Chains A and B, each alone.
Chain A
């Protein structure tokens, strides 16, 4: 019998206001165990102001094989970048 429990991905926020970054994973039976294991494994030196744990099975990720096609709609919209626009000479602070 496999007794390794479910896989959870761990995200650590290093300071208040900072984004959560993926740190690694732990095995756990429920949210509380996942949080405690993540604390013990990934934050033994005060690395964290916040922790997220997410069941690995619940994460939806883009498909690598289709990534060119998937992200393609952004490629031909260069007018979304500020450098696309011509600004008259002499205009300041824009």
Chain B
């Protein structure tokens, strides 16, 4: 069948214009494919690395109920990582290649997971704020243009709301507990607030990857717009449980109906992304060690597969 060289591009552009999903076997510009591999694999890495700050608390959970919930949540994060690695694989990248990029620092993960979970209240703050921020971003991504990514997001969003609610429940309980528990909850909020806001990425004016991402409908809302959505929701939730958002300049703009906040410390964000956060080394070393220790399982499974194929 005769086709002109521009036909695949036309096909892609027309699909994007109509608002149709792009599927794995569709023609797509190489740059679109590369952008998605980068974004989806880093999203997957974030889910997997995100298991570490919480895994740290499984053996120290304050009750059997809390322990079972935390285990289920961390299992979900592992599952989310798998959905996302599968979605990235449909673009022609291998799982081992992605893991190597993570371990050599070529691929990033969300900077928020380079902060330590110091007390049990941090488990509350992570669920409430970190998962809460992730939900705002992922709700948008349910309508992203790449089909397998969008479908993974639908699945993840369904599961993520349990994560946020269990975190908020921990914070509410501690905020209503002894003075020490209350202080712990407030301290966790103080430490996680800014890192959670930074999860939406740099301000729109400095955002590196945004322009093409909008054009290709990978991204539907800007970093700042998503961040504002999260702030507006969360301030009210803090009030309900009697905790204070750690920002002296926080105020409601009656005209816009939105909360205004202090500028964030983007130098810190870039420092942490570049590998100099409090836990970067620990996170990657842990990942490498567990990956190496599990090598025999993968080899045994491959040998077993070889027997039958």
Report which A residues bind B (CB closer than 8 A): 1-7, 23-27, 29-30, 33, 40-42, 44-45, 61, 64-66, 69
Is the beta-carbon distance between B301 and A29 smaller than 8 angstroms?
Answer: yes
Instruction: Report yes or no: A25 in contact with B304, Cβ–Cβ below 8 A.
Output: no
A5: which B residues are within 8 A, CB to CB?
298, 301-302, 305
B159:A41 contact, CB within 8 angstroms: no
A-B contact count (CB 8 A): 64
Residues of chain B contacted by A29 (CB below 8 angstroms): 301-302, 304-305, 308
Instruction: State in angstroms the CA–CA spacing of A29 and B79 once bound together.
Output: 19
Q: Which residues of the other chain, A, contact B305 by a CB distance below 8 angstroms?
A: 5-6, 29-30
Known: A3-B299, A5-B301, A44-B76. A24 touches B1 (CB 8 A): no
B273 within 8 A of A: no
B1-60 interface (Cβ within 8 A of A):
1, 3, 25-27
Give the complex CA separation of A33 and B301 in angstroms.
Answer: 10
**In the docked arrangement, what's the CA distance between A29 and B298, Å?**
10
Determine if B82 and A26 form an interchain contact, defined as CB atoms under 8 angstroms apart.
yes
Roughly how many angstroms separate A27 CA and B1 CA in the complex, as a whole number? Answer: 36
Q: Is the interface of B mostly helix, strand, loop or mixed?
A: helix
Residue of A nearest to B301 (CB): A29
Contact of A45 among B3, B95, B159 (CB under 8 A): B159
Cβ-defined contact, A4 with B151, below 8 A:
no
Interface size class of B (residues with CB under 8 A): 20 to 34
B89 within 8 Å of A by Cβ?
A: yes
With A4-B96, A24-B151 in contact, is A30–B304 under 8 Å at CB? yes
Please name all residues of chain B whose beta carbon is closer than 8 Å to the beta carbon of A2 when the two chains form the complex. 94, 96, 302
Q: Is the CB of B3 within 8 A of A24?
A: no
Residues on A with C-beta less than 8 A from B295 are 3
A-B contact pairs, 10 of them (CB 8 A): A2-B94, A3-B301, A5-B302, A5-B305, A23-B155, A24-B151, A27-B95, A30-B305, A64-B25, A65-B1
Do B1 and A25 have beta carbons less than 8 Å apart?
no
User: Which of B75, B87, B299 makes the CB contact (< 8 A) with A44?
Assistant: B75
In the complex with contacts A24-B83, A27-B95, A30-B308, A65-B3 CB distance below 8 A: yes
Question: A2-B94, A44-B72 known; 6 other A-B pairs, CB under 8 Å?
Answer: A1-B302, A6-B309, A24-B87, A29-B304, A41-B83, A42-B155
Docked-complex contact B79 and A44, CB < 8 angstroms: yes
Is chain A's interface secondary structure helix, strand, loop, or mixed overall?
mixed
10 closest residue pairs by CB, A with B: A29-B305, A3-B298, A3-B302, A25-B86, A4-B95, A29-B301, A64-B25, A24-B86, A41-B82, A29-B304
Bound: A44/B75 CA distance, A: 9
Instruction: Give the shortest distance, in Å, between A57 (CB) and chain B (any CB).
Output: 11
What residues of A have a CB within 8 angstroms of the CB of B301 in the complex? 3, 5, 29, 33
Say yes or no for B130: interface residue by CB 8 A criterion: no
Report the Cα distance A65→B76, complex, angstroms.
38
Chain A proximity mask over B199-218: 1 for CB below 8 Å, otherwise 0: 00000000000000000000
> In the complex, what distance in Å separates the CA atom of A40 from the CA atom of B78?
10
**B133 at the binding interface (Cβ < 8 Å):** no
For B159, list chain A residues within 8 Å (CB).
44-45
Q: Assess whether B174 is interfacial by the CB under 8 Å rule.
A: no
Q: Complex formed: what's the CA distance from A33 to B151 in Å?
A: 24
Which residues of A lie under 8 Å from residue B79 when comparing CB positions? 40-41, 44
Q: Which of B1, B94, B304, B309 contacts A69 (CB 8 A)?
A: B1
Tell me the B151-169 residues at the A interface (CB within 8 Å): 151-152, 155, 158-159
Q: Are A66 and B304 in contact (CB under 8 A)?
A: no
* Chain B 87-105 interface 0/1 with A at a Cβ cutoff of 8 Å (1 = within): 1010000111000000000
Q: What is the CB-to-nearest-CB distance from A29 to chain B, in angstroms, rounded to a whole number?
A: 3
